[in-house]
A and B are shown apart, each in its own frame.
Chain A
């Protein structure tokens, strides 16, 4: 398993729990997840925090099934079954990888509107690692 230490995980809480991104002070592009150097202009390391909406659209996705899950997600796959992992294009521009939860895998489609919410990602050292997953955005309408 890709070990992520507790302090290392803790530092990423703003992005994992509440979708805090960064806006480049030089080129204005939004980076998510936050980077040391802007992914778009490749020069600036000056950012301001930006609360993202958590909304976006499925850009592409794969279904992870039996045996295909990384070790930290193997238990999830065994208990919960096949799950979709998507690249989502966020409303603010960046494309991010995340699981799609609370949806029948057969109903996941490219272009489908999604939004983030807090889920258990995995457990390591008996510590539950929470973070965002995407869920269908139409559910509340």
Chain B
């Protein structure tokens, strides 16, 4: 039985800050290749965004929320460190209270963790319908260079065995023990990063390339057989470094490279990148996505596009809907000055 993506939806908050604003304030901007990034409004958070994309994903099928039999939520920046998060989204969207749900929150790999959890449900239950939402707006101290890259966005997917837009061909993962790169100690709501750049890059490259190559080996696939590849985007350069090691070229990475205009979307990075690819993909295209979470681990998933039903609005339309803010307003919105 084929399982896959039956629908999807995206949301990008309207506010943007340009790299020039950081250069004016700090003298430099640390996020390679990022021209501008998205910022959540004062009254938005990952739960309001997850509710919005969940509704859009269901509308794109279309499917009534009471059909959902599995819900999963992914974010590294939830508004609470203890309190069930899915309930807010589930109740807002109208997903039945008896639906099993899970919250995935401890690394930027959370988005694909939730998607794989959803697929496991539909593979075990042929009539099952999983709704998976990834929404993120990571926060760090304004004094840390890791803060420069952090953006905001959300995407949701309806996974099932019917009305497929893209069929899942397989998935593979790799997990290691690494530390010092992008972590949150229990008592701090802000990201830490010890700036052990080479070490962190090694963890990212080894996990992502291992997950991706073991999947490609399993599927007997060569790099050139993929039309589109989406790789975790802490900035807009990392995908090229990883992609280069795996034998992928810039054109294969182009459609899913949303970080250029949105920044680091954390757990929503790969989900939003995949949505941007599905927006323009043609039937028959193969798509590889590879997530990464510090700590560390990577998931790779391979899809074959089998339908040309597109979600509304497209990622590009969400990118184009924007209002620029200055750095001082950014600091106020982030609660850095009160």
Contact = CB atoms under 8 A, between A and B. Distances in A.
Interface of A: 13, 17-18, 75-76, 78-81, 99, 101-102, 104, 117-121, 128, 130, 133, 139-140
Given A13-B91, A17-B91, A104 B44 contact: no
Contacts of B44: 119-120
Contacts of B45: 120, 128
A18 B43 contact: no
A133 B48 CA distance: 11
A79 B51 contact: no
Contacts of A133: 43
B94 interface: yes
Interface string B311-338: 0110000000101000001001101001
Contact of A140 (B51, B312, B329): B312
A117 B48 contact: yes
B192 interface: no
Interface of B: 14, 41-45, 47-48, 51-52, 79, 88, 91-92, 94, 312-313, 321, 323, 329, 332-333, 335, 338
Given A13-B91, A17-B91, A140-B312, A76 B48 contact: no
Nearest to A128: B79
A128 B48 CA distance: 11
Given A80-B333, A119-B43, A133-B43, 7 more contacts: A18-B92, A75-B338, A79-B333, A80-B41, A81-B329, A120-B48, A130-B48
B48 A78 contact: no
Contact of A118 (B48, B323, B332, B338): B48
Contacts of A101: 41, 43
A75 B43 CA distance: 11
Given A76-B42, A119-B48, A120-B48, A104 B323 contact: yes
B61 to A, nearest CB: 16
Contacts of B14: 102
Contacts of A139: 313, 321
Nearest to B94: A18
Given A18-B91, A118-B92, A80 B43 contact: yes
Contact of A130 (B88, B94, B329): B88
A120 B80 CA distance: 14
B332 A79 contact: yes
Contact of A120 (B43, B52, B91, B335): B43
B26 to A, nearest CB: 21
By Cβ-Cβ distance, the 8 closest A-B pairs, closest first, are A80-B42, A119-B43, A79-B332, A17-B92, A120-B43, A118-B48, A118-B51, A79-B42
Contacts of A76: 42-43
A121 B88 CA distance: 14
Contacts of A80: 41-43, 332-333
Contacts of B41: 80, 101-102
Of B43, B45, B47, B94, chain A has the most CB atoms within 10 Å of the CB of B43
A117 B43 contact: no
Contacts of A102: 14, 41
Nearest to A119: B43
A17 to B, nearest CB: 5
Contacts of A13: 91
B89 to A, nearest CB: 9
B321 to A, nearest CB: 7
A115 B137 CA distance: 24
Contacts of B313: 139-140
Contacts of A75: 42, 338
A104 B41 CA distance: 12
Given A17-B91, A130-B88, A118 B333 contact: no
A36 B62 CA distance: 36
A139 B321 CA distance: 8
Contacts of B88: 17, 118, 130
A104 B321 CA distance: 12
A118 B91 CA distance: 11
Contact of B52 (A78, A79, A118): A118
A130 B47 CA distance: 10
B17 to A, nearest CB: 15
11 contacts: A17-B92, A18-B94, A76-B42, A79-B42, A80-B333, A101-B43, A117-B52, A118-B51, A118-B92, A133-B43, A140-B312
